[in-house]
Amino acid sequence: MVPRSSRNTSRKLTWDKERTRELFKRYRATGDEAARDELVTMYLNLVKYLASRFRNRGEPIDDLIQVGTIGLIKAIDRFDTLREVEFTTYATPTIVGELKRYFRDKGWAIKVPRRLQELSFRVNQAVDALTQKQQRSPTIPEIADYLGVTSEEVLEALETSEAYNFVSLESDRNTDGSDSFSILEYIGKDDHLMAVVDDRTTLAAALKNLSPQEQRVLYLRFFEGLTQTEIAKQLNISQMQVSRLLRKTLKVLREHLVREEG
């Protein structure tokens, strides 16, 4: 069973630093292929661990490990041994980047039937229209009624909207850089949060992975206690975007925290 074994691996993700340094030295000095191979073998469990993070996306785990290994090799070739940084710290983003690119190239994120994409878009608009008209969040049958589709189709569209927006969310990160909101600033001030999450540094590290917009949505939802509709209004985005941002944000945090655990 893949998840079980990968979790076990994650518990003992440690490497011999001394040996790592030695091998890098040898590989850099003499281009010794054997040294490089040993490095690849040594850090293969890091690749396996990171690949397992992507295993729920319909790609065989072996393919993911292969892709991740390419990332690892790139990292080994580019790693600057003079910098005071652990190899794992350097390699992780490279491997993850390689895996992400793989999914992007595969078009995983947009492999959604056109019919559903369109419906998802219309549901989005219907939620906004109905919320405005009724001054409350609509029910699924109300949305279905409004669009002349079944409730099942609306529910399906809710799931869809999260799948096919993966890519656009990734790119959001770059475009909303002007927004300087940072949830990190609030962590020190909020006693309530402190009571709930006492491992402040872990959470803070996890939050750094989020874009300002994601942090803001998270803050408004969980700290200010606003509903998704209220957040949508305040940020001038749709309720479904809020929903999507929240789900994605929580997933990122969860994965980060679990990783810290390991």
Partner 1 sequence: MASDRIALSVPARGEYARTVRMTAAELASRMGMSIDDIDDVRIAVEESFALAVAHASGADVTFTFTLDPEAFEAAATTPSNTCDEDLEDETGSRYARFILESVCDEFEIRTDDGACYIRLLKRIS
Positions that interact with partner 1 (CB under 8 A): 1-3, 7, 55-56, 127, 136-141, 143, 151-152, 155-156, 158-159, 193, 196-199, 202-203, 221-222, 225, 227-229, 239, 243, 246-247, 250, 253-254, 257-258, 260-261
Give 113 or 141: the residue with its C-beta nearer to partner 1: 141
Shortest reach from residue 221's CB to partner 1, in Å: 7
Give 73 or 218: the residue with its C-beta nearer to partner 1: 218
Give 98 or 128: the residue with its C-beta nearer to partner 1: 128
Give 46 or 232: the residue with its C-beta nearer to partner 1: 232
Give 16 or 224: the residue with its C-beta nearer to partner 1: 224
With residue 230 as reference, give the H or E element that holds it.
helix 228-235
Label residues 7-22 b or e (16+ Cβ within 10 Å = b). eeebeeeeeeeeebee
Shortest reach from residue 85's CB to partner 1, in Å: 24
Under 8 Å CB-to-CB from 110, ≥6 apart: which residues?
A: 164, 167
Shortest reach from residue 135's CB to partner 1, in Å: 12
What contacts 24+ positions apart, CB below 8 Å, involve 196-202?
A: 202/257, 202/260
Q: In angstroms, rounded to a whole number, what is the distance separating the alpha carbons of residues 27 and 32?
A: 5
Shortest reach from residue 218's CB to partner 1, in Å: 10
Give the Å distances, CA to CA, from 193 to 186, 203, 227, 240: 9, 11, 18, 26
Shortest reach from residue 229's CB to partner 1, in Å: 5
The answer to whether the beta carbons of residues 233 and 198 sit under 8 Å apart is: no
> 194 phi and psi, to 5 degrees?
-60, -35
Shortest reach from residue 255's CB to partner 1, in Å: 9
In 3D space, the residue among 220, 223, 212, 215 whose CA is nearest the CA of residue 253 turns out to be: 215
Give 179 or 261: the residue with its C-beta nearer to partner 1: 261
Q: In angstroms, rounded to a whole number, what is the distance separating the alpha carbons of residues 187 and 254?
A: 17
Give 40 or 197: the residue with its C-beta nearer to partner 1: 197
Q: In angstroms, rounded to a whole number, what is the distance separating the alpha carbons of residues 175 and 93?
A: 20
Shortest reach from residue 2's CB to partner 1, in Å: 8
